[in-house]
């Protein structure tokens, strides 16, 4: 017969994986059990490019394998008493970059704090080059090369709608690498080159470089004096100028309701001075100027500008909008110049039409609960409603399609 005076002893078993990454979210918490140990595992990690996962293996009287994805923070378990080993492995860029382990003896009814110290086992370099949606520099190819002693590695650039990226394979901890980056035009002309030297060590093993605002008329040679760099950003001076047609494009909007808004994206490689520019939209069956942009607004490249009602969180410029959900036009004008314009018509309007007025027009999936969003890779076909998707608001971010 069990002793009725037995007390429940509660402690906390926490895992703090000191890793250079974004990690974990939790499983459902399991309640206390006097015959087991209540375990709370919590991974506290810094941001790391190309995060894959943090993998935990709990090995003892039982075995548990837990995979924590991006933005996750914790997991809770009830474990049987006995000898346990806790293993943590952090993966990024398809590589195992950190790992750690610790052993503990667990007793029934307990919770204990255990920290797993993570150590770097490999590194990598990630480089991002913004292109602008029209790629005005005509960057068509490029290569990242690394040399350390007799070891040399080369990696070609990959391209998306708005950027070129390249990531290396595994880099050895403790090694110093000479780094060379070249960007070439479609005709093979050398547009940009950079030479640097980096040391891959236990603190700086995942390097994240971004080359911002590249221009053909600025100095294209950069030399880094640092042998140990965690994050290097080369800010080449971008032009400050008035926008031209096509520099800004509408990437998200919402019609009808208190949260109506319009989002524009700076698709150029320059900082745009929006003095004298204004938002136009259909309201009360007429197309008119809704608000003039304040003269102090300067929009950097790869940035967003949001026009929205006063009550809407996240908007940059307040404006009272009343855009119809049936059909309408939205435009950005600077003086007499139209920078961007879009005509939309809803699926219901096209279906109900019996006159043939909308023949050949691809309708937009206008929805009272979801915004319409444009994935940047569909930039050249934005007049086509099929290029747009519905999703929860993704203000100041790329499209967040629900499908």
Of 14 and 122, the structure prediction assigns the larger pLDDT to 122
Given a cut of 90, whether residue 62 has pLDDT beyond it is yes
| Cα gap 311→325, rounded to integer Å | 20
Both structure tokens of 19: 């890793």
Q: Token match 């070891």: residue?
A: 151
Residue 358: band (very low, low, confident or very high) from pLDDT cuts 50, 70, 90: confident
Among 332, 400, 340, 352, which Cα is nearest to 372's? 400
pLDDT tens per residue across span 253-263: 999 777 899 99
What pLDDT, on a 0 to 100 scale, did the predictor assign at position 238? 64
pLDDT tens per residue across span 150-195: 999 999 999 998 899 999 999 999 999 999 999 999 999 988 888 8
**Lowest-pLDDT choice from 42-56, 199-213, 311-325:** 42-56
Q: Tell me, what DSSP letter sits at residue 376?
A: G
Both structure tokens of 163: 């950027």
What pLDDT, on a 0 to 100 scale, did the predictor assign at position 237? 52
What pLDDT, on a 0 to 100 scale, did the predictor assign at position 40? 75
Architecture of the domain whose range is 37-120: Sandwich (2.60)
Among 307, 324, 325, which Cα is nearest to 316's? 307
Tell me the mean pLDDT in the region 65-77. Answer: 81
Given a cut of 60, whether residue 214 has pLDDT beyond it is no
Residue 108: what are its φ and ψ, rounded to 5°? -60, 140
Going from N- to C-terminal start, the domains of the chain cover 37-120, 125-210, 248-391
| Cα gap 331→299, rounded to integer Å | 17
Mean pLDDT of the chain: 83
| Cα gap 89→66, rounded to integer Å | 11
Both structure tokens of 208: 């994240």
β-bridge partners, 252: 263, 373
| Cα gap 39→61, rounded to integer Å | 14
Given a cut of 70, whether residue 207 has pLDDT beyond it is yes
Q: Token match 């399609």: residue?
A: 401
Report the share of the chain in percent with pLDDT over 70: 83
Residue 371: partners with Cβ closer than 8 Å, 6 or more residues away:
252, 253, 254, 261, 390, 391, 392, 393, 394
Coil vs helix vs strand at 139: strand
Considering all CA atoms of the chain, what is the largest pairwise distance in Å, rounded to the nearest integer?
Answer: 91
What pLDDT, on a 0 to 100 scale, did the predictor assign at position 181? 93
248-391: CATH topology is Immunoglobulin-like (2.60.40)
Given a cut of 80, whether residue 47 has pLDDT beyond it is no
Tell me the mean pLDDT in the region 90-106. Answer: 91
| Cα gap 250→115, rounded to integer Å | 48
CATH class of 125-210: mainly beta
Provide the phi-psi class of 326: left if phi over 0, else alpha when psi is between -120 and 50, else beta: alpha
| Cα gap 223→194, rounded to integer Å | 7
| Cα gap 130→244, rounded to integer Å | 19
Of 304 and 132, the structure prediction assigns the larger pLDDT to 304
Given a cut of 50, whether residue 15 has pLDDT beyond it is no
Given a cut of 90, whether residue 219 has pLDDT beyond it is no
Give the chain's radius of gyration (CA, Å): 27
Is the fold of 125-210 the same as that of 248-391?
yes
**Highest-confidence segment of 70-74, 194-198, 276-280, 294-298:** 276-280
pLDDT tens per residue across span 21-33: 444 444 444 455 6
| Cα gap 10→38, rounded to integer Å | 8
What pLDDT, on a 0 to 100 scale, did the predictor assign at position 236? 52
Residues in the chain, total: 403
Coil vs helix vs strand at 351: helix
Given a cut of 50, whether residue 11 has pLDDT beyond it is no
What pLDDT, on a 0 to 100 scale, did the predictor assign at position 359? 84
């Amino acid at each position: 017969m069990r002793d009725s005076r037995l007390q429940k002893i509660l402690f906390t078993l926490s895992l703090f994986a000191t890793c250079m990454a974004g990690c974990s979210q939790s499983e459902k918490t399991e309640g206390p059990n006097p015959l087991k140990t209540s375990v709370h595992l919590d991974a506290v990690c810094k941001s790391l490019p190309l995060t894959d996962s943090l993998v935990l293996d709990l090995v003892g009287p039982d075995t548990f394998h837990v995979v924590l994805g991006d933005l996750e923070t914790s997991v809770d378990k009830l474990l049987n008493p006995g000898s346990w080993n806790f293993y943590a492995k952090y993966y990024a860029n398809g590589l195992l970059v950190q790992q750690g382990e610790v052993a503990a003896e667990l007793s029934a009814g307990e919770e204990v704090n255990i920290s797993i110290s993570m150590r770097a086992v490999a590194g990598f370099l990630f480089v991002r080059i913004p292109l602008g949606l029209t790629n005005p520099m005509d960057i068509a190819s490029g290569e990242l090369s690394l040399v350390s002693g007799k070891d040399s590695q080369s990696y070609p650039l990959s391209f998306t709608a708005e950027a070129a990226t390249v990531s290396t394979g595994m880099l050895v901890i403790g090694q110093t690498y000479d780094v060379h980056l070249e960007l070439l035009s479609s005709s093979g002309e050398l547009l940009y080159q950079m030479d640097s030297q980096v040391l891959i060590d236990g603190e700086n093993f995942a390097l994240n470089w971004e080359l911002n605002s590249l221009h053909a008329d600025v100095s294209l040679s950069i030399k880094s004096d640092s042998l140990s760099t965690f994050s290097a950003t080369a800010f080449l001076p971008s032009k400050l100028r008035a926008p031209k047609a096509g520099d800004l494009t509408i990437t998200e909007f919402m019609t009808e309701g208190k949260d109506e808004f319009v989002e524009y994206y700076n698709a150029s490689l320059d900082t745009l001075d929006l003095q004298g520019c204004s938002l136009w939209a259909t309201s009360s069956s007429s197309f008119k100027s809704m608000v003039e942009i304040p003269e102090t607004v300067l929009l950097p490249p790869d940035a967003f500008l949001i026009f929205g009602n006063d009550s809407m969180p996240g908007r940059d410029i307040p404006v009272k909008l009343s855009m119809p959900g049936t059909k309408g036009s939205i435009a950005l004008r600077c003086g007499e110049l139209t920078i961007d314009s879009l005509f939309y018509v809803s699926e219901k309007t096209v279906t109900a039409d019996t006159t043939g007025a909308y023949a050949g027009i691809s309708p937009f999936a206008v929805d009272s609960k979801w915004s319409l969003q444009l994935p940047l890779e569909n930039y050249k076909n934005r007049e086509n409603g099929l290029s747009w998707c519905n999703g929860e608001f993704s203000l100041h971010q790329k499209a967040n399609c629900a499908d």
